Amino acid sequence: VIASLEPLIAEFTGSQEEAPRAIGVACAGQIDPTTGAVVYAPNLGWHDVPLAARLKETFHLPVVVENDVRAAAWGEFAFGAGEGRGTLIAIFVGTGVGSGAVLAGALWRGAGNVAGEVGHTQVVADGLPCRCGRRGCLEQYVSGSGFQRRLDAAAHGGRRSRLLEAHGGEAARVTALDVYEAAGAGDELARELWDDAERYLVMAAANYVTLVNPDVLVLGGGVIETVPALFEAVVRAVPALTTLVAGRALRIERARLGDLSGLIGAAALATPA
Ligand SMILES: [Zn+2]
C-alpha cells in the first residue's frame, strides 16, 4: 500500500503550482491520535504501522492520519451537508456501517479515537454474531455484507428464496438493491431482511439523535446512494422517535461529497484554517 501511495503523493504534489502545506490521509482502521500510526486495520492486515512518521520522513511535511469514516464526517461537516457549523452526525451505510460525529464544531474522537462506531452498537439482544466478537450489532442487519451473511445462513438452512435462486444460490453476488427489489416483488426472505434493515437503521439513528441532539444527520455510503427508500425511511420515522425538541431541531440530509468525503475531510484536517 505504501509503495503505491508514495509515488502517487509525489506525482500529485509535483504537479501543483502551489507547494503543499501538509498531507492528510484517511485510512481505514484504528489510528493513534497522537502519532498517526495505524494501530490495527483489518482490511489492510496492518498492526502498528507508523504511517504518519513514514510519510513525514519521505516528504518532509506535516502529516495527519485520520480514520476514514471520521475524516468523511469532517469532510461532510466542513464542505458538504454540514455547512461548516454546529453539531453533525454522519452515518455511512455500505459494505459495513460507519459513523463519525462533529460536536459543536470539533471532531469527536473519544479517548482512543474510536468514538461514534454506531455500526457496532447493539440493536438486537443476543442477535446475530458480529466480526467484532459481540452480537446483535447494527452492521449485521443493515450493511451489504450483513445482507450477504444473512442470505448465506438462510441458504445453508435450506430456506428457499427467488432472490438467491436468481443469483445462482451465491449470497456474495447479491447487492442491497437486489434485496430491496426482491422485497418489493414479494420475496419473503428479502422482505424480512429489508424490514429489519429499515427498522434497525431507524432505531439506531433515532437513538444517536436523542443522545447527541445534532443540527444535522447526514446519511451516505453505497447502500444509501443505491436505495433511496432507506434514506426516505429515516426521514419519515426518525423525527418522531427522538425527543420533541431534538426532532424539531434536526435536518436530515444526504451526504454531498460521495466517495470524496474522506479525502476532502483528511485534507481539511491536515490544513486547519
Ligand atoms: Zn459488531
CA of 201 to the centre of ligand 1 (A): 14
- CA 102 – CA 212 distance, rounded (Å): 10
Residue 62's contacts (CB-CB under 8 Å, 6 or more residues apart) are: 21, 22, 23, 56, 270
CA of 7 to the centre of ligand 1 (A): 36
pLDDT at 16: 81
CA of 25 to the centre of ligand 1 (A): 25
CA of 24 to the centre of ligand 1 (A): 28
The predicted-structure confidence for 199-229, as pLDDT tens digits, reads as follows 999 999 999 999 999 999 999 999 999 999 9
CA of 14 to the centre of ligand 1 (A): 42
The predicted-structure confidence for 88-120, as pLDDT tens digits, reads as follows 999 999 999 999 999 999 999 999 888 999 999
- CA 258 – CA 33 distance, rounded (Å): 25
**What angle in degrees, to the nearest 10, is found between the helix axes of 228-241 and 188-212?**
50
Picking from 202, 261, 205, 249, the residue whose alpha carbon sits closest to that of residue 229 is 202
The predicted-structure confidence for 142-151, as pLDDT tens digits, reads as follows 999 999 999 9
- CA 242 – CA 254 distance, rounded (Å): 19
Instruction: Check pLDDT > 80 for residue 273.
Output: no
The predicted-structure confidence for 29-69, as pLDDT tens digits, reads as follows 999 989 999 999 988 899 999 999 999 999 999 999 999 99
Confidence of residue 17 (pLDDT cuts 50, 70, 90): confident
Q: Where are the beta strands (DSSP E) in the chain?
A: 23-27, 30-31, 38-41, 46-49, 63-67, 88-93, 97-103, 106-107, 216-220, 251-254
Sign of CA dihedral 196, 202, 206, 209: positive
pLDDT at 188: 96
The residue-averaged pLDDT of 147-162 equals: 93
CA of 96 to the centre of ligand 1 (A): 10
CA of 13 to the centre of ligand 1 (A): 38
CA of 133 to the centre of ligand 1 (A): 7
CA of 136 to the centre of ligand 1 (A): 7
CA of 62 to the centre of ligand 1 (A): 34
CA of 131 to the centre of ligand 1 (A): 6
CA of 181 to the centre of ligand 1 (A): 27
CA of 78 to the centre of ligand 1 (A): 29
CA of 48 to the centre of ligand 1 (A): 22
CA of 217 to the centre of ligand 1 (A): 22
Picking from 44, 203, 212, the residue whose alpha carbon sits closest to that of residue 138 is 203
Neighbours of ion ligand 1 (CB under 5 A): 120, 130, 132, 137
Confidence of residue 14 (pLDDT cuts 50, 70, 90): confident
Instruction: Check pLDDT > 90 for residue 18.
Output: no
CA of 73 to the centre of ligand 1 (A): 20
CA of 118 to the centre of ligand 1 (A): 9
The predicted-structure confidence for 167-189, as pLDDT tens digits, reads as follows 998 999 999 999 999 999 999 99
